[in-house]
Chain A
Amino acid sequence: MGKTILYVVVSLAISLAYFTLVDHFLMDMQGLDYWYLFRK
């Protein structure tokens, strides 16, 4: 059970980081600010 939780946490962390990077960099490549709302 402990191993499963660890796997889930690691997987979620990797996926979250990956998609955040995708969002950030692909917006950046278009000259747009992904964090527009949060910077305002």
Chain B
Amino acid sequence: MVSLTRKKTLSIIALSAMIGLLLMPIVMSIPAVASGGGESAGSPPPDAVKKEGAAPEQKVEKARDVYYKTEGIVVGAPAPKTTDGPKDYPRYNFESRVLLWFANQQHLYYGSFVLAVPIFCMVIEFIGVVTKDKAMAKKYDQLAYDFIKISLTAYSLTAILGGILIFTFLTLYPAFFGYLSSIFRPVMHIYALTFVAESGTLYIYYYGWDKMKEGLLKWIHLSMSVILNVIGTLLMMLANSWIGFMMSPAGVDEQGRFLGNIWHVLHTALWNPLNVHRILGNMAFGGGVVAAYAAYRFLSAKNDEERAHYDWMGYIAMSLGVAFLIPLPFAGYWLMREVYAYRQQMGITLMGGLLAWLFIIQATMIGILFLSTNYYLWQALGRMSGAERFQRYIKYFVFILVCGFLIFITPHTMVMTPAELKAMGGQQHPVLGNYGVMSAKNGGINVIITTTVLTFIWYQRGNKIPAVSWAKFGNIFMGCFFFMAYVNIIWLAVYGYYIPANVRVGLSVPQVATTLSCLFFMTALNLTMLKGAKEIGPIMWGKISVRSQYAIIMLATAFTWMMGLMGYIRSSVRLFWHVNEIMRDNSPWAYTHTVGFAANMISFNVLFFWVSIMFVFWLGTLGAKKAPVGAKAPVPGGAPAPAVGH
């Protein structure tokens, strides 16, 4: 007993020392950042400073921050004025932007995936630790381990792709990359160190799983996942600050000279909305990819036990992904609002101008995401005894979803030939054109999301009948609440047509609040009503249609497609600027691609990602025989199985 305690104590000390060493570089760098980056970002190299220092007097020049409008001492060089040639834009016999696009997108896909999966692991491992049922706790633990195992190979690929990305920048855009790294010099260094800390923590977390599976050590292991995710989020936020700076620069004067305040450079107008949007997006994407992995394993499973396990895994991953998908459009809305607030013209280019058609494609993808989610849940009702009673209502749900979807994807203006324009009598269709405005579109998407919430609530009730004494009132209240929510969403959409634009723009907020009210209040009410509910039959994990698994794969592919599309839109909005209004892109590729070319390029990226991730999945199956959590965990459910997992 004594020796066990000593062992534990030594383990804790060793672990703390290791984490301390991993975090030490970051802690040591903090004072440098606080003081504006030690050596000023954008400043000349130290030897040059020495030579200049020899001069008797140094002139102090002050300038005004382009965004914060504060005055600061100029400490950086101006943004280089590039010219098209081998000096600023060396190239192969290929479009450099496309090469960079590919490297960037692949790095981003894998980066998003490996940042999202540890968050899932943390949540699932925590559920496993607090679950009182030992068998279930073991299953959750095994599931969390399965998740992190997938991300580990992907992690190596992320690092490799990051290296490729940097080399692509250095080789093809040296002037731009030189300028960007001079501005971000202090945080670039921290970024690299954070990556080291992330890697170290991840490896300890993964390889320590078996050794730290019980008691206090398990809690330490769990807390390591928290550290892992804090570092991961920091990493992502630093990367976001670069794109935030490129879109909405701050901390520099109008010539692009750094003014000594690194916080201003990081905290640009779009940094926070980008952070929130990316965290949610990564989570939804990560959930989709893990669910696709489970679907792949389900489809290739050799026996019922495997099918049951991967059905359950797919359900959990999909649920987590969708949980983050639901608030994602609202985060996107916030980002767009901030874009409009920063530069109205930028917002118009995005949503009403050059890139507007890509937003129609985006709306289509969002619609597909929600339709696939609903379809999966309807299929999943099939594995529950007693859920048949809901089947006959599905057709009404389909009708509502399709109406919302069609309104959501209706374009405001069409790109047409003169003959088509004449035939239609204008740029807008006389009837359908009315649906192509934000008022209608907001109504459409909120109806879709509210219906998805309703589907999920029905899924939760699939094999259960509420047994609380107030069940009748609860059911009626829930029905009325949803009914009034639909009425309110549609009312606000219609009301928007009758009031001026400056008042109308605010209606989206109560619309969103209506949808979120359904999500939070009705899910809470449902869970309360289902406490001690009467079970009609068990959930038969693995007894689900093959179509449902293809819906999951569709969902994951749509996520990937949408990420590629939105990334392109966000990047393209800078038009011919490397750094918006500060550093002009003078390469031959400083133009906006056609929608067709962009769509092909995005699709190629999606295809490449999925082919490569299939390789990662395959690698994961090679080590599948080695179970880390003691004896092989029993299948969650099996066929038939205890009803768990809501």
Binding site for B on A (CB under 8 A): 3-4, 7-8, 11-12, 14-16, 18-19, 22-23, 26-27, 29-30, 32-34, 36-37
| Cβ contacts under 8 Å, B479 to chain A | 11
* Contact A19 to B514, CB < 8 A, known contacts A27-B506, A27-B509, A32-B506: yes
User: A16 — which chain B residues lie within 8 A by C-beta?
Assistant: 484
CB–CB A15/B480 < 8 A: yes
Q: Which residues of B contact A11 (CB under 8 A)?
A: 473, 476-477, 479-481
With A18-B484, A27-B503, A27-B509 given, name 15 new contacts (CB 8 A): A4-B476, A7-B472, A7-B477, A8-B480, A11-B476, A11-B477, A11-B480, A15-B485, A19-B487, A22-B514, A23-B492, A27-B507, A29-B509, A30-B509, A36-B499
Roughly how many angstroms separate A23 CA and B488 CA in the complex, as a whole number? 9
Contact B509 A12, beta carbon cutoff 8 Å: no
Known pairs A7-B476, A11-B477; A36 contacts B503 (CB<8 A): yes
Closest Cβ of chain A to B78, distance in Å, is 40
B481 touches A22 (CB 8 A): no
Which residues 474-527 of B have a CB within 8 angstroms of A? 476-477, 479-481, 483-485, 487-488, 492, 495, 498-500, 502-503, 506-507, 509-510, 513-514, 517
- 14 residue pairs from A and B, CB less than 8 Å apart: A11-B476, A11-B479, A12-B480, A16-B484, A19-B484, A19-B487, A22-B488, A23-B510, A27-B506, A27-B510, A29-B509, A30-B506, A33-B503, A36-B499
- In the complex, A3 Cα to B473 Cα: how many Å? 9
Q: How far is the CA of A15 from the CA of B517 in the complex (A)?
A: 11
User: Which residues of A lie under 8 Å from residue B473 when comparing CB positions?
Assistant: 7, 11
Q: Which residue of A lies closest to B482 (CB)?
A: A15
The chain B residues found within 8 Å of chain A, CB to CB, are 472-473, 476-477, 479-481, 483-485, 487-488, 492, 495, 498-500, 502-503, 506-507, 509-510, 513-514, 517
Bound-state Cα–Cα, A34 to B484, Å: 18
- Please pick, from A12, A30, A33, the residue contacting B484 in the complex, using a CB distance under 8 A: A12
A residues less than 8 Å from B477 (CB atoms): 7, 11, 14-15
Q: Let me know if B513 and A22 touch, CB within 8 A.
A: yes
In the docked arrangement, what's the CA distance between A15 and B477, Å?
Answer: 8
What's the least CB distance linking B136 to chain A, in Å? Answer: 36
Q: What's the Cα separation between A4 and B510 when bound, in Å? A: 30
Given A33-B503, A37-B498, A37-B499, are A22 and B480 neighbors across the interface (CB < 8 Å)?
no
Evaluate contact between A19 and B485: CB separation under 8 angstroms.
yes
Shortest distance from the beta carbon of B615 to any chain A beta carbon, whole Å: 48
Chain A residue numbers with a CB within 8 Å of B500 are 36
Q: A-side binding surface: helix, strand, loop or mixed?
A: helix
List B contacts of A12 (CB < 8 A): 480, 483-484
CB-CB nearest in chain A for B492: A23
Contact among B480, B492, B498, B503 for A32, CB-based, below 8 A: B503
Q: How far is the CA of A14 from the CA of B473 in the complex (A)?
A: 13
Known: A33-B503, A37-B498. Is A26-B480 also a contact (CB below 8 A)?
A: no
Nearest-CB distance from B511 to chain A (Å)? 9
Tell me the smallest distance from the CB of A32 to a CB of chain B, in Å. 4
Q: A8-B476, A8-B480 are in contact. Are A22 and B506 (CB under 8 A)?
A: no
* Bound CA–CA A15/B510 (angstroms): 14
Residues of A within 8 A of B476 (CB): 4, 7-8, 11
Q: How far is the CA of A33 from the CA of B517 in the complex (A)?
A: 22
With a cutoff of 8 Å between Cβ atoms, the chain B residues found around residue A27 in the complex are: 503, 506-507, 509-510
Residues from chain A with Cβ under 8 Å of B485 in the complex: 15, 19
A residues near B502, Cβ cutoff 8 Å: 32
Nearest-neighbour CB distance to chain B for A37, whole angstroms, equals 5
Cα A35 to Cα B78 in complex, Å, equals 52
Q: How far is the CA of A12 from the CA of B481 in the complex (A)?
A: 7
Cβ contact within 8 Å between A26 and B510: yes
